[in-house]
Structure 1
């Protein structure tokens, strides 16, 4: 199995009885769980460990705070928020022995739900606290991607590298309108511009050149708050699922997209599914989105890393 990226303390064991570092995003899920934070921290403290709330005012600071906590010997790391918060915290514990607990408190909670945590934040904290008391962990796979410049990132759920990534990229560049309407407008703009792009896909070394409008690489089945884009993906099988929508026109994409919530889109004749340990993906002008977060520009190499994360479950 490939080793963890340079700089990650893979050989660092969590300090026995060490503090539980907590990354909390009070704005996740539009702040609807903000008032729950004291109760969630109290629940974690019930495991008999000191609880340390990490200070961060930006995604970059959040990731740095998690890395520092792990380097300083945290006994565990807990992320309270949505997939973005989980993704940032995950970078610090992937490939290490430090156990991790995702508490679903965001708009999209795909990784936490796909790996068996309750949807209710209080119930999820109860599961994590019970695992801490019993010193119990459950290992799952992660996906590690590497850019052409050697930069490495981990993701737990899904990497988007097609239409959805392009929409996210446009929405992030827009300054108006604010809120969900900005994303809706970005969809309309990109639908008007929809065209298949040429991708080079290598699956365990076997090349596939194809034209596609949507490419997703999944360690878990869902993204975007419950859309089952890679419905057969299993975060314990040591494999990545790749779902490709080929030369799909606007009308077909609009018609097929609602089926993604049920995972039945994979039965469409223009949708193809693959499975591999290593995925090499290239196309011009695509910035990928991993776990909903802006990530590396194509080309990238993505590898399934079995047992890369120890979940407190």
Structure 2
């Protein structure tokens, strides 16, 4: 099997090509693997690299060395090829995808990662050809993420500070978006603070929007948060962020008039006017969003210790 390490040099706080790649080669070389190291140069490059290797139709394991965006790109390039599987070496700050299986630290042991094996995971198709691994959302959370980059350019205003300023800005604006969200043909129309379609449990640097979601059940967890007053929004978002809006598989009683939770396989979000959307951290204005689950579409590698403890659903993904 070929082992291909795809490194995003812009992940993390330092240039990964300068500090990570030499250390990687030092650790991999003694293992006598058939390996290659590729460094990305522009957005979408990781997808191109993965596709180029996968098209050889030979067994290949890709290691997405970066954050959730890099992992998304590698999965996008690899998932159509059954000979390809995708692992992750987390270099980013969020690493939300990995929280479905463990912690980022669980994936940092390179030898354990190399000796691990792949499990099937669902993906989401967004529109005609875009792939999402973890989240598709529209509304307040997407608008907050959309505005963060402009604050990061301000000195001493990175990370959490930029995020908090963006929250304040968006809460001060008119909140709520009139939209219709259809889940497997059942329509929900209202003035929503946000609509989230989750394949995994976590997004946005730690928001546990769908704590009961699984990436191998062939289903999407859909959450609709109604518009609330500014006096209530902080409390609602705090519970939503921590995953405390759920008790078991149900929304807690005090939030059932505010949050709607359903599961389905196909979702369409149609706002009255263009809305900011978040597709695995990529934010943009869209007139509408269509999403459908792709059951067991990808093969994701778990480090050996996690793989030994992992219990897939009976019949694997998409069987329910």
Scaled by the length of structure 1, the TM-score of the pair is: 0.82
Q: Which moved more, 1:286-295 or 1:33-42?
A: 33-42
Does residue 267 of structure 2 align to residue 279 of structure 1? yes
Deviation at 1:307, TM superposition (A): 0.7
Q: Determine if the alignment matches structure 1 residue 160 to structure 2 residue 141.
A: no
Hey, which of these two has a bigger chunk of strand by percent? Answer: 2
Q: Retained in 1: the 8 A contact 2:67–2:95? A: yes
- 1:301 corresponds to which residue? 290
1:94 aligns with 2:82: no
Pairwise mapping of residues 111-260 of structure 1 onto structure 2 (< 5 A)? 111-116=97-102, 119-123=105-109, 125-131=110-116, 136-146=117-127, 150=128, 152-172=129-149, 176-177=153-154, 179-180=158-159, 181-260=161-240
Consecutive unaligned residues in structure 1, runs of 5 or more: 1-16
Q: CA deviation at 1:116?
A: 4.1
Deviations 1:190-221 (A, max 9, x none): 11014211111111112221210111110001
For residues 32 and 67 of structure 1, do their structure 2 counterparts lie closer, same or farther at Cα, with a shift above 3 Å needed? same
The partner residue of 2:34 within 15, 37, 50 is 50
Confirm whether residue 289 of structure 1 aligns to residue 278 of structure 2. yes
Rounded Cα–Cα distance in structure 2 between residues aligned with 1:275 and 1:308: 19
CA offset digits 1:9-63 (Å, max 9, x no partner): xxxxxxxx2x222211233232397734434445555664322111322223333
CA spacing shift, 1:36–1:171, aligned 2, 3 Å: closer
Give the drift of 1:96: 2.5
1:113/1:68 CA distance change after superposition, 3 Å: same
- Unmatched 5+ stretches in structure 2: 246-250, 303-320
C-alpha contact 1:44 1:128 (8 A) present in aligned 2: no
Which residue of the partner structure matches residue 7 of structure 2?
24
With 19-28 and 95-104 compared, the bigger mean Cα shift is at 19-28
Segment drifting more, 238-247 vs 252-261: 252-261
- Pair 78,296 (structure 1): closer, same or farther in 2 beyond 3 Å: farther
Stretch moving more, 276-285 or 254-263: 254-263
Query: Deviation string for 1:276-310 (max 9, x for gaps)?
Result: 01111111221321221236724121111111111
| TM-score, length of structure 2 as denominator length | 0.81
Aligned partners of 1:104 and 1:120 also within 8 Å? no
C-alpha distance in 2 between matches for 1:293 and 1:130: 32
TM-superposed deviation, 1:166: 1.2
Pick closer, same or farther for the CA change 1:168–1:140 going to 2, 3 Å.
Answer: same
SS in 1 for 2:39: coil
Among candidates 82, 85, 104, match of residue 70 of structure 2: 85
Shift in alpha-carbon separation, 1:120–1:175, aligned structure 2, 3 A? closer
Among 27, 43, 58, which residue is 1:59 paired with? 43
- In structure 2, relative to structure 1, the CA distance for the partners of 1:117 and 1:49 (3 Å cut) is farther
Equivalent in the alignment of 1:7:
none
**CA-CA distance at 1:112 after TM superposition:** 1.8
Aligned to 2:310: none
**Alpha-carbon distance, 1:240 to partner:** 0.1
Cα RMSD for the two superposed structures: 2.5
Alignment equivalent of 1:108, drawn from 83, 94, 97: 94
- Mean Cα displacement is larger for which, 32-41 or 296-305? 32-41
